[in-house]
Amino acid sequence: MTRRNLAAALAYVALLIGIDRGIGLVMGSMLDRAQPQGPCATAALGGIAHRDAAVMFFGSSRANSQLDPVAFEEATGRRAYNAGCNGVSIFTTRMIEAIVLAREPTSQVFLLVLDPKDLYLDPLGESFRLAPLASEPALAPYIAMLPPLTRLKLYSWAYRYNSIGPRIAYELLRGRHGDDDGYLPLGGSMVGRTGGENHPGGIPRTVAFDQPFLAHQERFFLEFTRDAKRHGIEVVWIDAPRIRNGVEREPIEVRASLRLEELARDSGATLIELNERVRPDLARPELFKDHSHVNGRGARALTTAIAHELEALGLLSRDDARTRNAGESRT
């Protein structure tokens, strides 16, 4: 290879890197402006923007589509933000929380909606849902756990945004500016539907009862609570209801639920049980879209029940001046 060829090759590589970085900078700016609903990066950015909300909701679709900030404010007079993201486990939820905590939120309570399967279904082989925010220092220890190929792809700034580019364009054309509360309501109803779903609660029947729980997943649950409490924020775990239609819970799910109770005690989280056994009034067919998710009406009922529980525990009774003052200082 001649020096001329080498110089041409290096110039070509530099050009590719420059184009990649340029696309990434433009897409990052557009993401900040549009904040399309759905992507987990938007949940994290929304959490940052609403870090003075009194309560912040975290979790998968069982938070994102089940907890209504408007209903919470109507019940308590305090603002809330929904930082949940559809289809994620405690792994991604913990990363969203870490990004928000790095901005020193003034929230009083972080509320996590539990999913027992997080203890035994490994998410590390799944796609990285926070790729647009891969440069966040708070994510470094979690990115190090990803498969090598995923980590390599994250060096491309264009790659980080390729999955949400169309959503960004759509929201920019629609004129939104990320001013929503993060909640994505669901329609539909279970009225008239009989029988249990094939996998109650999304629990695969092929999972053995005695399968060991994943140590890193347990650690993420513990970190979620302990890190928030270090920032002076109380943490509440919610065991939300499902529709069972007479189908018994899988043994692995029962065992995982018991382990989550232990982890709540170990971490210092407050566990509130609002499942179908404790609150059958919240598990009526007319309140559910499917076996695992409430509809809009169910979300209002569930959120209001949670609000009353938090007030009964005294978690919302202290002076809210710290939150108000922080919000005023940022305006």
Q: Regarding predicted confidence, which is higher, 22 or 195?
A: 22
Best mean pLDDT range from 7-16, 185-194, 210-219, 230-239: 230-239
Handedness of CA 63, 64, 66, 71 (dihedral sign): positive
What's the token pair of residue 29? 């700016």
CA pair distance 101, 110, nearest whole angstrom: 11
Q: Regarding predicted confidence, which is higher, 312 or 323?
A: 312
Q: Regarding predicted confidence, which is higher, 194 or 297?
A: 297
Alpha helix positions (H), the chain: 3-34, 40-49, 61-64, 69-76, 90-101, 140-143, 148-153, 157-161, 165-174, 215-230, 251-267, 296-312, 321-329
pLDDT, residue 285, reads 93
Going by C-alpha positions, the residue among 291, 292, 293, 298 that lies closest to residue 196 is 291
Give the start-to-end residue ranges of the domains of the chain.
Answer: 3-317
pLDDT, residue 323, reads 42
pLDDT in tens, 70-116: 999 999 999 999 999 998 999 999 999 999 999 999 999 999 999 99
CA pair distance 185, 18, nearest whole angstrom: 41
pLDDT, residue 97, reads 98
pLDDT, residue 202, reads 46
CATH class of this structure's domain 3-317: alpha beta
pLDDT in tens, 151-168: 999 999 888 887 777 777
CA pair distance 220, 224, nearest whole angstrom: 6
